[in-house]
């Protein structure tokens, strides 16, 4: 009989929004048991969380090193199958490294590391160990993003010309935006960038994932609007992509009043598409020769790529958590089969770090275009 997959978690302590998202997403498919973890730095609070999750108390560990050791000490048929890492950025690399070296598969939050050097180091370990690595670029788990990707691969848009991506949030508009916000603008925990690392990398990943193009050159203007911040809280990027396409990324975490406004517009010489994360069930298709179409999840005109990532009939809104869970489901399938599947991995991690380093360098320098 098939068994459930055993998951461990590093991160997701009290108040950590994304940790709870990982836990719900992991539950949705009914294929995963969360059996071990370190839920934040405070042992008492970590224990409380472990209790509320019905964990066996001796698998709530003091830190990730103890957890690696502890799990290795268990019989193979009790050990976790993989670990989910949802800590601040600076821990992604060392924790991934520790678990990979101990032979565990890893699912890690983005950005994958603090530098492209770290990302490349991880890539080497993953390849040499033959382990599975999933980078949680959750937005690619949306059915209509898969529909968009398929439409472009099928040539529906023709040759791509122009890309306009907007990712704006208002949550860092004021100086004091809470704990979740503060580590994101602290270089020690976030790395070389704030806004661009946090949301610009989502934009970069989705552009490359959906279009199949590569961003080759960028010209960037990062800003820090709130005084006293050590990292950017806003940025603009002009892009030149493979196959002659061009585009713009508008990213801001000081966009007052915006919730999680992530919009993707892609124009080809035959047609164009538009997707909005806050109404994720729709994909707008425009052309010069036909009426505007609104493809909707679950409805005729929407194909296999979206259907694979869909649970409910049309008109029964799916959202953020299902997209997240889709990445989990794909990773579980890979663990069962032992073969990497269709989820973002370490290559995407290397790309995002190179993009980030180019953007920061260009914004600090005087050259107009920086190659990636």
Q: For a second copy, which is the closer residue by CB, 10 or 222?
A: 222
Residue 102 near a second copy by CB under 8 A:
no
Q: For a second copy, which is the closer residue by CB, 45 or 97?
A: 45
211: left (phi over 0), alpha (psi -120 to 50) or beta: alpha
Q: For a second copy, which is the closer residue by CB, 123 or 370?
A: 370
Q: Which long-range contacts (CB under 8 A, 24 or more apart) does 278-282 make?
A: 280/142, 280/144, 280/318, 280/319, 280/320, 280/323, 281/144, 281/317, 281/318, 282/144
Residue 183 near a second copy by CB under 8 A:
no
Q: For a second copy, which is the closer residue by CB, 129 or 246?
A: 246
Q: Are 211 and 145 in contact (CB under 8 A)?
A: no
Contacts for 366 with CB less than 8 Å, ≥ 6 apart: none
Smallest gap from Cβ 245 to a second copy, in A, equals 9
Residue 100 near a second copy by CB under 8 A:
no
- Record the tokens describing residue 157, joined without a space: 């848009």
Site size for a second copy (CB under 8 A): 91
Q: For a second copy, which is the closer residue by CB, 123 or 293?
A: 293
* Cα separation, 94 vs 175, whole angstroms: 30
Among 254, 327, 332, 358, binds a second copy (CB under 8 A): 254
Please report, as residue ranges, which positions from 270 to 329 form the binding site for a second copy (by CB under 8 A).
Answer: 270-272, 277-281, 285-296, 298-302, 311-322
Please report, as residue ranges, which positions from 130 to 159 form the binding site for a second copy (by CB under 8 A).
Answer: 157
Among 14, 43, 48, 53, binds a second copy (CB under 8 A): 53
Q: Are 134 and 108 in contact (CB under 8 A)?
A: yes
Smallest gap from Cβ 84 to a second copy, in A, equals 15
Nearest to 12 by CA among 104, 78, 108, 119: 108
Q: For a second copy, which is the closer residue by CB, 106 or 195?
A: 195
* Cα separation, 28 vs 106, whole angstroms: 19
* Cα separation, 259 vs 242, whole angstroms: 32
Among 24, 120, 156, 216, binds a second copy (CB under 8 A): 24
Residue 368 near a second copy by CB under 8 A:
yes
């Amino acid at each position: 009989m098939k068994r459930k997959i055993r998951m461990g978690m590093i991160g997701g302590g009290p108040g950590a929004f994304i940790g709870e998202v990982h836990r719900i997403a992991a539950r949705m498919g009914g294929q995963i048991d969360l059996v071990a973890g370190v839920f934040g730095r405070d042992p008492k609070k970590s224990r409380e969380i472990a209790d509320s999750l019905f964990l066996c108390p001796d698998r709530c560990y003091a830190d990730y090193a103890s957890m690696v050791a502890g799990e290795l000490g268990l019989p193979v048929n009790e050990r976790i199958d993989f670990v989910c890492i949802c800590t601040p950025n600076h821990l992604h690399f060392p924790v991934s490294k520790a678990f990979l070296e101990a032979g565990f598969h890893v699912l890690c939050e983005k950005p994958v590391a603090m530098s492209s050097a770290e990302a490349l180091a991880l890539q080497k370990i993953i390849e040499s160990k033959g382990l599975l690595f999933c980078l949680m670029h959750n937005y690619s788990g949306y059915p209509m993003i898969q529909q968009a990707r398929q439409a472009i691969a099928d040539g529906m848009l023709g040759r791509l010309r122009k890309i306009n991506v907007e990712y704006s949030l208002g949550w860092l508009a004021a100086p004091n935006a809470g704990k979740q916000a503060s580590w994101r603008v602290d270089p020690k925990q976030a790395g070389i960038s704030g806004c661009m690392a946090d949301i610009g990398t989502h934009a970069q990943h989705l552009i490359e994932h959906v279009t199949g193009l590569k961003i080759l050159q960028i010209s960037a203007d990062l800003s820090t609007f709130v005084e006293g911040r050590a990292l950017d809280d806003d940025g603009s990027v002009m892009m030149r992509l493979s196959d002659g396409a061009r585009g713009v990324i508008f990213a801001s975490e000081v966009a007052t009043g915006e919730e999680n406004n992530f919009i993707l517009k892609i124009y080809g010489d035959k047609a164009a598409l538009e997707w909005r994360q806050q109404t994720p069930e729709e994909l707008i298709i425009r052309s010069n020769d036909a009426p505007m179409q609104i493809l909707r999840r679950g409805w005729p005109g929407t194909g296999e790529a979206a259907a694979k990532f869909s649970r409910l009939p049309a008109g029964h809104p799916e959202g953020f958590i299902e997209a997240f869970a889709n990445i989990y489901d794909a990773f579980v399938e890979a663990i069962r089969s032992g073969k990497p599947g269709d989820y973002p991995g370490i290559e995407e991690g290397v790309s995002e770090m190179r993009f980030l380093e180019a953007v920061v360098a260009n914004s600090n320098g005087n050259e107009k275009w920086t190659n990636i």
